[in-house]
Amino acid sequence: MADMSLRGATCISRAHLDSIRSKVLEPHDDYNTERLRLKALSDERASKWPNTLQAGRARKERARLERAAAEENERIEADALEATLQAENRRVQIERANKVLFDETDKVKTLHGKMLESDAIKENEALVAYKKQIAVLRKAQDAAFVEQQRQALEAADAVELKKYEEARQRAMQQRDAQNKQLDELKAKILAERAADKKEGQLLKERAEKEAADLRAKELARIAKSKEHNEATRAANQALQAFKLKELERQKEQERAIEAYSTKKANQMAERAEHEAKKRAQKEAERKRIADAMEQNYINWHTKEEQLLERDVAAEEARKAAAQEAQRQRRAQQAQAAADFNRLQLQRKAEQKARSLAEDAMFAAAWQQRVKELKEEEGAEAAERLAEAKKLMEFQKHQVLMKSKRKAAAKMEELQEAAQIQLSLKDQDDIFKQYANECINEYASRGNTTVPLQRMLNKKEGLQPFMP
């Protein structure tokens, strides 16, 4: 009986039985959980890699921001240095202009003219004193000459009277000798008078020569004064030429700044065009890679589908052959084989459905990732465009600020000029102090201060300053 029950049974190996059981039984859910955990670990580890596309983009973005910040700091330092140099040049020019304005005022010129007049008065007084001394000396010489002549005449008269008395005493016998002596005496007197007259002529010529020397000194002083006036006029002309040269240099600096701004704008436009070309190339390369990956995935999926269909067809053919070969077997075995085939087909269908679902999920996740990458690229492009726009706006703001600074500097110069005009009262006080110091100096030197005091009383209505 036992032999009858085992007559239609078929023996299979344990490996085959385990394979049938593994295919029939449901798979455990730990497989999917492990896949998700491993994928999360892979994503986390990939986010820390420095050689990925995202890490490279982040590194390039940081380098670009650092370069932009460094360039901005350099521009700020250059602008601050330029503003400092312009302020210093403006201060020096204002001080020079104030000095020139102070020296070119009518009051200061009048004061300097009165100082020259005081010097001339002092020289004239010295000349008058010298002439007075010459006159006194001349009078003394004339008086001495007259006294000498008087004494000589008295002596001659005395000698003559004495000789006349002797001649009278000697009477007629010494008439010839007396006449001869009288002639000699007369000749001697005439010679002495001629010598005295000649000496007087020499004194007169000496006096005339001294007067001519004085006139020559006066003419030399006048020529020196004219030369000083010519030198002052030449200095004024040189100052005007220097002012024109300074104005031309400032215009040249403005033209250089404008050329630099134009060159910088052209460079920024070329840089923006180059970056746009690079972004277009990167976008085209990224799209090509994404299309290639999508096409590879489609090819792989198609190939997998074909392989699966071929395996299914081969398995169905094998099963059909097996069923045809075992048609003679018992109905139980046929039913068991049919059940086994049904369960196996159901398992494969479920496996195929799960595989298709996983593939669809992977494709959807990959498409979502590609979409996220495109969105990130778009966001980065928009951010770079916004940064470029900010940079252009900042450069426009810099140009506007430079023009505003120029306008403010021009307005400040106008205000300073107006302040100079408004500070005339302070200059009047400075002029009064300067005039008083000049009066003190001239008084200490012994020069007359009358022209200076008259000028102050006439121009300013000041009280006379008595040193």
pLDDT given for residue 463 in this prediction: 41
Residue 201: how many other CB atoms lie within 10 Å: 10
Quick one: pLDDT at residue 419? 58
Give the pLDDT band of residue 260 (cuts 50, 70, 90).
Answer: confident
In this prediction, residue 2 carries a pLDDT of: 44
3-state helix, strand, coil in the chain (%, to 5): 90, 0, 10
The reported pLDDT for the residue numbered 124 is 84
**Which of the given ranges, 299-308, 334-343, 357-366, has the highest pLDDT on average?**
299-308
Distances in Å between the alpha carbon of 161 and those of 76, 146, 156, 175?
A: 119, 22, 8, 15
* Alpha-carbon gap, residue 249 to 178, rounded angstroms: 104
What's the CA gap between 35 and 345, in Å, rounded? 26
pTM of the model: 0.26
Confidence band (pLDDT; 50, 70, 90) for 464? very low
State the chain's mean pLDDT as an integer: 75
- DSSP codes of every residue in 250-263: HHHHHHHHHHHHHH
Instruction: Please report the pLDDT score of residue 467 as a whole number.
Output: 36
Q: Which of 161, 197, 200, 199 is nearest to 182 (CA)?
A: 161
Residue 48, class by beta-carbon neighbours within 10 Å (0-12 exposed, 13-18 middle, 19+ buried)? exposed
Which one-letter amino acid corresponds to residue 76?
Answer: I
Q: How far apart are CA 113 and CA 110, in angstroms?
A: 5
What is the rounded distance in angstroms from the CA atom of residue 210 to the CA atom of residue 182?
42
Instruction: Determine the average pLDDT of the residues in 231-245.
Output: 75
Burial class, 435, CB count within 10 angstroms (exposed 0-12 / middle 13-18 / buried 19+)? buried
Q: Which residue has the higher pLDDT, 128 or 392?
A: 128
Contacts of 392 by beta carbon, 8 Å cutoff, 6+ apart: 268, 272
Mean pLDDT of 382-390: 73
Cβ 252 vs Cβ 382: under 8 Å = no
* pLDDT (average), residues 276-297: 78
The span from the CA of 375 to the CA of 363, in Å, is: 18
Burial class, 452, CB count within 10 angstroms (exposed 0-12 / middle 13-18 / buried 19+): buried
Query: Do the Cβ atoms of 449 and 465 come closer than 8 Å?
Result: yes
Place of tokens 């059909």: 320
Label residue 22 by pLDDT band (50, 70, 90): low
Nearest to 450, CA basis, from 234, 442, 292: 442
Q: How far apart (Å, rounded) are the C-alpha atoms in residues 153 and 161?
A: 12
Q: 7 vs 438, which has greater pLDDT?
A: 438
DSSP state of 174: G
Tokens matching residue 349: 């269908």
**Angle 382-385-388 from CA coordinates, rounded to 5°:** 155
What is the structure's pLDDT at 466? 40
Evaluate whether 348 touches 312 at the Cβ level (below 8 Å). Answer: yes
> How far apart are the C-alpha atoms of 82 and 76, rounded to whole Å?
10
What's the confidence (pLDDT) of residue 247? 79
The answer to whether residue 438 scores a pLDDT higher than 60 is yes
- Cα separations in angstroms, 432 against 108, 303, 438, 452: 10, 109, 10, 11
Q: How far is CA 46 from CA 34, 49, 51, 52, 297, in A?
A: 18, 5, 9, 8, 21
Asked if 68 and 391 touch (Cβ cutoff 8 Å), the reply is yes
Measured CA to CA, the distance from residue 404 to residue 401 in angstroms comes to 5
Share of the chain above pLDDT 70, in %: 79
Q: Is 134's pLDDT higher than 60?
A: yes
Least confident interval from 186-195, 328-337, 339-348: 328-337
- Please state, as a whole number, how many other Cβ atoms lie within 10 Å of the Cβ of residue 221: 15
Nearest alpha-carbon partner for 149 in 256, 141, 38, 87: 141
Return the pLDDT at 465: 37
Q: What are phi and psi of 50, to 5 degrees?
A: -85, -10
Q: Render pLDDT for 168-208 as a digit per residue (tens, 0 to 9).
A: 777 777 667 667 777 787 788 778 777 777 777 777 777 77
Q: Is the pLDDT of residue 462 over 50?
A: no
Convert 329-345 to b/e letters by CB count within 10 Å (16 or more is b): eeeeeeeebeeebeeee
